[in-house]
Amino acid sequence: MLPVQLNALACFEAAGRHANFTHAARELGITQAAVSKQIKALESRLNARLFDRGNRAVALTEAGKKLYDGVSAGMRTIGETLEAICSIRHPPELVVTTTVAMASLWLMPRIASFRAQHPSIAIRLIATDTLLDFAEDRVDVAIRYGNGDWPHLNSKFLLGVRFFPCCSPDYLARHPMRTAEDLRHARLLNLEGPAARYSEWEWWFASNGIAVSKLDPELSFNNYPLLVQAALSGQGVLLAWGNVIDNLIDDGSLVRIIDGETPANQSYYVVTTQRRTLREEARTFCEWLLADTRQLR
């Protein structure tokens, strides 16, 4: 058996997972040169080229893919064993992440139900509009918005999103609107920043066959819950995310302005990593999520 340093295997696994030496170095807290040196030494030791080098990325060769499968499986086993030993005395908390909007408007009102059914499962909820790394941030379950296709991750469809304009009853009484055309002259609450996948109002008008020039909104916010609060306080018209804020429509806090809904071209998914075995607590949480949203699918 050829003796190989564990540092070299750690560098190789990170580089193979990221397909990038620089990203691997950032994760490991070392320099890109150090990663490159470790991998070159490993290639020399094995007398095999493990990566095809490009200008901005690297790709595993056939030999590299074979080694990567073995190394990643071994590291996953080591990690699971360490977690199992630690959990004997300190049961690990379930780490769940999702967007700020999904966490505050959809998940929080429901999480009490899960806790009532599973009081022994401790949960740490991370609300962020930045995609977290499952390995680096020790994430168990994520609720992500997208097309369901993320490398090295398993995803299951959770719920779709339907867009429709709404506002507070007070705002509608002060600014009567009956058609989509009327919305061109309303105060439109605008979402910007990383939470905005596209310019939603411009997209909504275009999807409904209404020509508008570039919008110049009076009120813009960098996260969706702030838009919702602005709409609730009568400050303008919100492009509602159906299935996310339906409770505010059902209780009359917000009212629909026109009939009809425009389906989004992306949806919410329950996401887990392929790189480690799903813990029983995470499996229980995923099953609860899917059961709770069955009527929405």
- Give tens-digit pLDDT for 138-189: 899 999 999 999 988 999 999 999 999 999 999 999 999 999 889 988 999 9
Task: Count other C-beta atoms under 10 Å from residue 197's C-beta.
Answer: 13
Q: Are 252 and 120 members of one domain?
A: no
- DSSP for 164-186? EEEE-HHHHHHS---STGGGGGS
Q: Which domain holds residue 255?
A: 160-264
pLDDT band at 1 (very low <50, low <70, confident <90, very high): very low
Task: Produce one character per residue of 47-68: b if its CB has 16 or more CB atoms within 10 Å, e if not.
Answer: eeebbeeeeeebebbeebeebb
Q: Are 140 and 281 members of one domain?
A: yes
pLDDT at 130: 87
pLDDT at 79: 77
Q: Determine the 3-state secondary structure of 268 from DSSP.
A: strand
Tell whether 164 is covered by a domain.
yes
User: Among positive and negative, which fits the CA dihedral 254, 260, 265, 269?
Assistant: positive
CATH number of domain containing 85? 1.10.10.10
pLDDT band at 2 (very low <50, low <70, confident <90, very high): low
Tell whether 297 is covered by a domain.
no
Tell whether 1 is covered by a domain.
no
**183 and 257 in contact (C-beta within 8 Å)?**
yes
> Mean pLDDT over residues 258-279, rounded?
91
Q: Are 248 and 177 members of one domain?
A: yes
Q: Are 117 and 174 members of one domain?
A: no
pLDDT at 194: 66
Cβ burial, residue 226 (10 Å; 0-12/13-18/19+): middle
Both structure tokens of 102: 């999904």
Q: Are 255 and 122 members of one domain?
A: no
Mean pLDDT of the chain: 89
| Confidence check: pLDDT of 212 > 90 | no
Q: Are 286 and 258 members of one domain?
A: no
Total tally of structural domains belonging to the chain: 3
Domain boundary among 44, 74, 89: 89
pLDDT at 213: 75
Q: Are 152 and 285 members of one domain?
A: yes
* Most confident listed range (135-139, 235-239, 293-297): 235-239
